[in-house]
């Protein structure tokens, strides 16, 4: 494919940035990739894996001369990084991010975008519970959606970024930031919190039953433990920055849980059967839409 950006700055060199680097290189859609991360160990590992052509120590150095800047750090780190990059951004540069929350990231980053540059928030709905520069792979975004937020950006710039994601194998949808945050609270954020909680409950039980929880761990619980192994910093930031939508969904979840609890207590088998029939149909719809490869894995299907 033809080249879309001459120099890309990757701020953060973990799972998502690393996968982007490998996928962009495979597509031949970008020229030089310059990367930076907090630690020298991460920068060295990224360079050794060929995730970037140059690894530099500072955000300031990384963004200089870049026509695309990708913020791929935890959501809570975006504001400070955006402030630091501001004076060094090229005229006409596009800045995007991959954060799992959109309204709070817009609040953190948009004030630091100078005139002449454009901010297009983004979120690839793909991931694993792994993190760091060793975790990325070129196929991560294939057949997954990437959501871009259009808050009045030049159409040519939005189109160019969309084509970059398509070159990485993603389907691109444009969505409003608040709607994004609500949808992701349902599909990813609340489910992660439930997995964290379930593993916490089992851990308490495990102490009582002398590790039977691990010894007899069945598929359902094993999936919870995998999800609950996701990066603690990233997920802390997701919940702190998508507070309202997550609380709204958790409120509804609690109501449904009480209804099911009541059905169990009162022996209302019809209610339970109807409920599970409805949820089974939802699952089949997901499989028919090609959004699950068969393995139980909502990490890759709708991660973060």
Q: How far is the CB of 171 from ligand NAP (least distance, A)?
A: 15
Q: What is the CA radius of gyration of the chain?
A: 21
Q: How far is the CB of 160 from ligand NAP (least distance, A)?
A: 21
Nearer to ligand NAP, 144 or 213 (CB): 144
Nearer to ligand NAP, 213 or 228 (CB): 228
Of the candidates 198, 182, 118, 184, the residue with the CA atom closest to the CA atom of residue 152: 118
Nearer to ligand NAP, 37 or 213 (CB): 37
How far apart are alpha carbons 68 and 30 in whole angstroms? 9
Q: Who's near 63: CB < 8 A, 6+ residues apart?
A: 9, 11, 69, 85, 88, 89, 90, 93
Check if the beta carbon of residue 72 is closer than 8 Å to that of residue 97.
yes
Nearer to ligand NAP, 86 or 123 (CB): 123
Check if the beta carbon of residue 36 is closer than 8 Å to that of residue 9.
yes
Nearer to ligand NAP, 52 or 81 (CB): 81
Q: How far is the CB of 248 from ligand NAP (least distance, A)?
A: 20
Q: Which residues bind ligand NAP (CB under 6 A)?
A: 12-17, 37-39, 42, 72-75, 77, 81, 98-100, 123-124, 127, 131-132, 135, 231, 234, 303-304
Q: How far is the CB of 167 from ligand NAP (least distance, A)?
A: 18
Which residue blocks in 49-143 are alpha helix, DSSP H? 59-63, 78-85, 103-109
Nearer to ligand NAP, 29 or 100 (CB): 100
Residue 91 CB neighbours (<10 A): 9
H helix or E strand, kind and range, residue 41: helix 40-48
Q: How far is the CB of 270 from ligand NAP (least distance, A)?
A: 39
Distances in whole angstroms, Cα of residue 265 to Cα of each of 185, 259, 275: 29, 10, 16
Nearer to ligand NAP, 103 or 213 (CB): 103
Q: How far is the CB of 301 from ligand NAP (least distance, A)?
A: 11
Q: How far is the CB of 72 from ligand NAP (least distance, A)?
A: 5
Helix (H, G, I), strand (E, B) or coil at 142: coil
70 Rama sector, left if φ>0, alpha if ψ -120 to 50, beta otherwise: beta
Nearer to ligand NAP, 37 or 245 (CB): 37
How far apart are alpha carbons 44 and 5 in whole angstroms? 24
Q: How far is the CB of 210 from ligand NAP (least distance, A)?
A: 34
- What length does the chain have? 304
β-strands 94-97, 118-120 pairing: parallel
């Amino acid at each position: 494919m033809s080249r879309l950006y001459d120099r890309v700055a990757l701020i953060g060199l973990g799972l998502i940035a690393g996968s982007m680097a490998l996928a962009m290189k495979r597509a031949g859609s970008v020229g030089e990739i310059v990367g930076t991360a907090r630690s020298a160990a991460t920068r060295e590992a990224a360079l050794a894996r060929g995730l970037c052509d140059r690894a530099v120590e500072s955000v300031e150095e990384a963004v200089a001369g870049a026509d695309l800047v990708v913020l791929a750090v935890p959501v809570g780190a975006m504001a400070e990084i955006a402030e630091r990059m501001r004076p060094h951004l090229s005229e006409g540069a596009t800045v995007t991010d991959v954060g799992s929350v959109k309204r709070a990231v817009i609040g953190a980053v948009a004030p630091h975008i100078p005139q002449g540059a454009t901010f297009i928030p983004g979120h690839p709905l793909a991931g694993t519970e792994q993190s760091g520069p060793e975790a990325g792979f070129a196929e991560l975004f294939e057949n997954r959606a990437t959501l871009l937020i259009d808050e009045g950006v030049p159409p040519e710039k939005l189109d160019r970024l969309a084509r970059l994601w398509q070159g990485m194998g993603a389907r691109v949808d444009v969505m409003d930031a608040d709607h994004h945050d609500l949808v992701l609270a349902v599909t990813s954020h609340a489910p992660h919190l439930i997995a964290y909680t379930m593993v916490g409950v089992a851990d308490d039980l495990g102490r009582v039953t002398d590790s039977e929880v691990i010894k007899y761990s069945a598929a359902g619980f094993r999936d919870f433990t995998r999800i609950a192994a996701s990066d603690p910093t990233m997920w802390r930031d997701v919940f702190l920055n998508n507070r309202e939508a997550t609380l709204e969904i958790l409120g509804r979840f609690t109501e449904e849980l009480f209804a099911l609890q009541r059905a169990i207590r009162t022996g209302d088998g019809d209610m339970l059967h109807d409920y599970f029939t409805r949820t089974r149909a939802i699952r089949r719809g997901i499989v028919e839409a090609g959004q699950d490869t068969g393995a139980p894995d909502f990490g890759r299907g709708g991660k973060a």
